[in-house]
Structure 1
């Protein structure tokens, strides 16, 4: 690396890496803390709110920061997002009910969505396209490794310092990130005439929120019926129709409809959604599988997630370097996600016969191919968006990925609980008690009940793993049909 390039790297990369790390790790750091949170706050049936609320908020916030960053300057918006994120993290640690924790997670996501979007746009703003591939590889490695590292850090912190520590750890890291962000060049925005699309934001939030709550309530509807689920689906559909109508007519639309109609951009956004759904679902539910089916502790579960963390980071870094040298892009996620979909389908049926160490090793090897997606997606969208719409283009990827992660997590959770409820109501009730009391609760149950829970969970997690395989399969199809295949 030349001296000038090295100086640019040392200025840029730490300043955008740390905010990205903070925002992404908080999507999953609570996964291994969920049993402890349930034991402390109760209301196990609302645990998914803690994960989904953050994903909803980051999804809604991403296009807002993308649009404002293009207009007002991205470093300024980065500092605002960091302030919101740090303050909300303190509120999360102080929460004494699931409802207040959920509200604090919404505020935290409102900051986190900006950190992710602005980090990606800052790379596109400062780095030439060929070099950008290497930086996007680094950032993708940080992003997806942070996703996988979250449960590891969450398990360690929860076991040794209690669940509030998974939020308080953000405070010193966030302050350090703010000081590093001050090193970034303060470029002005494009200063174009602008009127914020308040109605578009309201319709977008209504669509995202109603769709995700509908999926969260779907397992209750499957078990008991009722009108809540269908009404939420209708509300989401109506909000989506009016949102599209509004954005096509707004002078300064929140969502860049012309960009979303570009063949390469909508395929990349859909690929990011499928990848986010697959990865965050695995990171959310794999710790539960290890902890409940195999009885591992929180810290041991975190260690079992380490191979996936390492594999994703290696895959992202290697993909970024090869793209930078060869100029080839789409072939890597095309092959990578085909392999991932095949392995996930196989592990869905083989997992009951494998020890946890073998499962962790298989996921670690497969994660190398999972790491081939996000760097290519970001680079392709930035090239297709052009320099004037870098923020808007980066925002489409971010809200697509966050939306996919939220929908995917909710859908896999619905499949998991619905399978348990349909197979054995006793197993479903026992699973809820284990979530609330931790894996140790399994030892207090009778032999027949333990056996029913294990059998029910084998089938439930098989269906959950198959869902993630379907997400990966769709991502592979999109990658094979991507029209931009080289720089």
Structure 2
């Protein structure tokens, strides 16, 4: 625990990077980010094969959840440690942890081993995302950072499309361990680039004491929250003693964390950040945009499979317009931010477009032309793209240089938290509405008997397989009910987007700095 503030023994002279060096660093960081982002999506299509080889199908969801838990929980810790020890060393630690645990995942001989190794892999994955964003803040000024954030956003969009395809191909032709072994060459390349280019990015050589107790409290509180959103409505009912107990524990742990962070000399998540108007507004927006984005990515394929009767692969391909236009929106916003020095207008436009797109999607039925649905999804993606990179630029421009690491890492932290909340909220609403709508159908009793439980839960887990089990006479009414339930899900997303639009209007635009956090003078030969 902390008892004394940090002191500076001797500051290093400022460093600057040429344009060529910046490009090389960005490529290396994108490799690391691609690893972490891909690992969240590539596993999904391989889960059935993994269950067939290792058994333990009842624990299958924990292969995904264990990674999510640990990668989210350690994000602010990486941010704080990088402010104290330097970005390079923490980035390389994250890469090494990720590589070693990827090997272990590939050699796992049981479901329990794989879940444990995935949890350990998340310790590296969370650091890859946090350190990439923080390192960019050190070498590129906020004014020009938007241009690069567009390329960074493309990494996440590409992983959302490539991941499921690669996972299915590897599981079917090479074996599921190659999902993890693919990380080795990419990770080694990222490690080599970081060693070559980040040597001049020196740490500040601070003498310090780490707030270990605060770190434990934050990690424990986040773990409880994610366990609630992961298991609630799936493994346990929402009102069960287990879920209620975890919710109470999360509240208590968060309160204890607040007390500890206020008294610690070097808190893991400094309370002074929450006195920063821009930081609070942007973190709130980040939480809400993640709820809409992740919830949409998770449930959109199910919507397409159910309403249009598409195969899982075809439904995945239909996400391409959304992903491509997310990249287009991010690059457009980034370049305009760099050109104009203004950033508030882009999330205003983005949330407005997002609201319209979600309302349009709420009108889609099985008779709507598929190409038109693709247009609505592309519009949705463009709105998301205009918002996402600008949020990070706004925070990095507003926080003090000493908080750059933890401030940047908290963007990833709250983004993952928002995504987890979004999936839980969308899932709960969808299940509830499906149960109500199916109960109103003429053959409700037959549907309940055939599905053997809550229609919403069964459809959410088994998709078209559960729908195919219904008699022909109930098939069309069931699809109509499913479409109605998803329409309400899109209305929920539009409501969140409207609230976000109201919040972003309160954002005070701060002129973008012309220098990076670690750069005060141009490097010789900068072009």
TM-score (norm 2): 0.82
Match of 2:427 among 413, 420, 424: 413
Corresponding residue for residue 473 of structure 1: 498
Corresponding residue for residue 264 of structure 1: 278
Does residue 348 of the first structure (1) align with residue 368 of the second (2)?
no
Contact persistence 1:308–1:365 (CA under 8 A): yes
Gap runs ≥5 in structure 2: 1-16, 439-447, 513-527
Corresponding residue for residue 89 of structure 1: 102
Corresponding residue for residue 273 of structure 1: 287
Give the Cα–Cα distance (whole angstroms) in 1 for the partners of residues 509 and 410 of structure 2: 17
- Which SS does the other structure have where 1:190 is aligned? coil
Contact persistence 2:66–2:118 (CA under 8 A): yes
In 2 relative to 1, CA 224–51 (structure 1 residues): closer, same or farther, beyond 3 Å? closer
In 2 relative to 1, CA 224–408 (structure 1 residues): closer, same or farther, beyond 3 Å? closer
Query: Displacement, 1:273?
Result: 1.5
- Which SS does the other structure have where 1:252 is aligned? coil
- Which SS does the other structure have where 1:289 is aligned? helix
Corresponding residue for residue 77 of structure 1: 90
Corresponding residue for residue 120 of structure 2: 107
Query: Displacement, 1:180?
Result: 2.0
Query: Displacement, 1:163?
Result: 4.6
Corresponding residue for residue 378 of structure 2: 364
Match of 2:405 among 380, 391, 401: 391
Contact persistence 2:85–2:203 (CA under 8 A): yes
Give the Cα–Cα distance (whole angstroms) in 1 for the partners of residues 496 and 432 of structure 2: 19
Cα displacement string for residues 296-336 of structure 1 (whole angstroms, at most 9, x for unaligned residues): 33432332111111111111111111000001101101111
Contact persistence 2:43–2:179 (CA under 8 A): yes
Does residue 250 of the first structure (1) align with residue 264 of the second (2)?
yes
Does residue 181 of the first structure (1) align with residue 194 of the second (2)?
yes
Aligned residues: 484
Contact persistence 1:137–1:318 (CA under 8 A): yes
Cα displacement string for residues 453-481 of structure 1 (whole angstroms, at most 9, x for unaligned residues): 53453344334333333333333222221
Which range moved further: 206-215 or 291-300? 291-300
- Equivalent positions of 1:8-19 (< 5 A) are 8-19=21-32
Query: Displacement, 1:136?
Result: 2.4
In 2 relative to 1, CA 347–39 (structure 1 residues): closer, same or farther, beyond 3 Å? farther
Cα displacement string for residues 73-117 of structure 1 (whole angstroms, at most 9, x for unaligned residues): 211111111121223333444456655443333222211111111
Gap runs ≥5 in structure 1: none
Does residue 227 of the first structure (1) align with residue 241 of the second (2)?
yes
Corresponding residue for residue 4 of structure 2: none
Give the Cα–Cα distance (whole angstroms) in 2 for the partners of residues 237 and 328 of structure 1: 38
Does residue 150 of the first structure (1) align with residue 163 of the second (2)?
yes
Corresponding residue for residue 192 of structure 1: 206
Give the Cα–Cα distance (whole angstroms) in 1 for the partners of residues 179 and 101 of structure 2: 13
Give the Cα–Cα distance (whole angstroms) in 1 for the partners of residues 236 and 299 of structure 2: 20
Contact persistence 1:264–1:381 (CA under 8 A): yes
- Which SS does the other structure have where 2:342 is aligned? coil
Cα displacement string for residues 416-439 of structure 1 (whole angstroms, at most 9, x for unaligned residues): 334334544555666766777774
Cα displacement string for residues 345-395 of structure 1 (whole angstroms, at most 9, x for unaligned residues): 331342454354432332123211211122211111111113222111111
Match of 2:130 among 102, 117, 125: 117
Query: Displacement, 1:147?
Result: 4.0
Which range moved further: 85-94 or 121-130? 85-94
Query: Displacement, 1:414?
Result: 2.6
Which range moved further: 77-86 or 297-306? 297-306
Query: Displacement, 1:204?
Result: 1.1
Contact persistence 1:35–1:436 (CA under 8 A): no
TM-score (norm 1): 0.89
CA-based RMSD of the aligned residues comes to 3.0
- Which SS does the other structure have where 2:386 is aligned? coil
- Which SS does the other structure have where 2:185 is aligned? helix
Give the Cα–Cα distance (whole angstroms) in 1 for the partners of residues 485 and 98 of structure 2: 35
Which range moved further: 21-30 or 155-164? 155-164
In 2 relative to 1, CA 194–432 (structure 1 residues): closer, same or farther, beyond 3 Å? same
- Greater share of helix residues, 1 or 2? 1
